[in-house]
Structure 1
């Protein structure tokens, strides 16, 4: 397998206009010698509105498919994941310089870790950024701690699933992202934490764009009955994985 980091991006027509900014942020990443990135962009649906915004670069693969939500799009994109690691990058977000190298260094240095996360700044419509308190201590995140925090804090994790950098084999073993209309990335985060140790970097690893068209800004995202159902199945999956005591470690791979 090539020494590659696969960047996985789900996109739909409203967010396609932000792809060039995401691409610029990828081009600013420096990786150790022998490593490269491959950006897999998967449209959630088939339209003629996304392709014009996809950069022409041999390191970029663009695919389309029937609509099923961002989790389905990302999971389908794993068919093109010909590398050791997978990095999530939403179409409307950006990676600060150095983000990929820090993620890679953490997992290459400690084979007992399955995934990394990092600090996030909101990217506001005027171009300014804003942080928020509550980040965990830098370094390892032990199994089960994300679920405990999430449950005790109104279903809000102490680390952001949009910053995930994951070992590809672990991601595939867990089935990719959950088949949910939203919170599919939180479901993955909790499943990862139930089965493997993670890592948190205190340096900013993501600029999370705030804009009216984003999925989390829609009323449907916070509709009470569906949100309660999403949280219930996300928690149940993580608890069952923990109960089965399946533990991942790359040390023996």
Structure 2
């Protein structure tokens, strides 16, 4: 990191061959982000596998690192990408999604202002195949998200959280302390969100921070993702982990802050 740079946000993206064509749009949305003086972003793209299909779509940009590894799903790819996460903060950006204007700056401001806040989320809009967008009701009030509130809402609403895990912005040390993403075939990002909410307060920005692309090849649209037996098992382990973390009564605060009181 150069002397002129005081901080870095590492943007982590898992990618596989079908979604690689969307990397250019994701890169464009990153290049349009405006950060405070002294801050920069580093984009780590981790292929879930080793093919020749993704590399041609990786942007030619000194701020981009591309790595490959044996396939294990998006959670494994993102966790492996942490080996190259050389900043204080990690932002999730799926290969087929796009950041909204100002997303990184808003997330950064929320966490820089309060060491007791470990993570941030924002409003997401579905990006439909025709280029239009669609929102959905149920966003929380902008501002702090109290510990345990996401789990409670998720449990009471058919395993649907009031904030989108694809919008997560998180302190790197907290992410590492939780072991990265859960070792699940799907819902690994929901598992991370609920774990974060069990140990730390969060933040929600009402401004649109993510355009969540809806397309026929996305993993969440496949039949295996909604298989009821597997889904029930995934949800059970996601909830059990979150409740176990809450029972441990460990509360995260950034190193410069004051530990949470119980």
Given the alignment of the two structures, is residue 169 of structure 1 paired with residue 173 of structure 2, yes or no?
A: yes
Question: Which residue in 1 is equivalent to 2:21?
Answer: 17
Question: Which residue in 1 is equivalent to 2:203?
Answer: 199
Q: How does 1:35-114 map to 2 (within 5 A)?
A: 35-114=39-118
- How many Å apart are 1:111 and its aligned residue? 1.1
- How many Å apart are 1:110 and its aligned residue? 1.0
- How many Å apart are 1:252 and its aligned residue? 4.5
d(CA) in 2 for partners of 1:233 and 1:97? 35
Please give the per-residue CA displacement for 1:120-159, whole angstroms capped at 9, x wherever unaligned.
0000000000001110011000000000000000000000
Q: How does 1:152-163 map to 2 (within 5 A)?
A: 152-163=156-167
d(CA) in 2 for partners of 1:69 and 1:140? 31
- How many Å apart are 1:59 and its aligned residue? 0.2
d(CA) in 2 for partners of 1:100 and 1:165? 8
Question: RMSD of aligned C-alpha atoms?
Answer: 0.9
Out of 211, 215, 219, the residue aligned to residue 215 of structure 1 is: 219
Question: How many residues are treated as equivalent by the alignment?
Answer: 253
- The SS at the match of 1:111 is coil
d(CA) in 1 for partners of 2:108 and 2:251? 21
- How many Å apart are 1:97 and its aligned residue? 1.3
Question: Which residue in 2 is equivalent to 1:117?
Answer: 121
d(CA) in 2 for partners of 1:155 and 1:36? 35
- The SS at the match of 1:92 is coil
d(CA) in 2 for partners of 1:136 and 1:213? 30
Q: How does 1:27-42 map to 2 (within 5 A)?
A: 27-42=31-46
d(CA) in 2 for partners of 1:214 and 1:146? 25
Given the alignment of the two structures, is residue 127 of structure 1 paired with residue 127 of structure 2, yes or no?
A: no
- How many Å apart are 1:96 and its aligned residue? 1.3
d(CA) in 2 for partners of 1:133 and 1:151? 17
d(CA) in 2 for partners of 1:141 and 1:65? 35
d(CA) in 1 for partners of 2:57 and 2:131? 21
TM normalised by structure 1 equals 0.99
d(CA) in 2 for partners of 1:73 and 1:32? 29
- Structure 2 alignment gaps of length 5 or more: none
- The SS at the match of 1:154 is coil
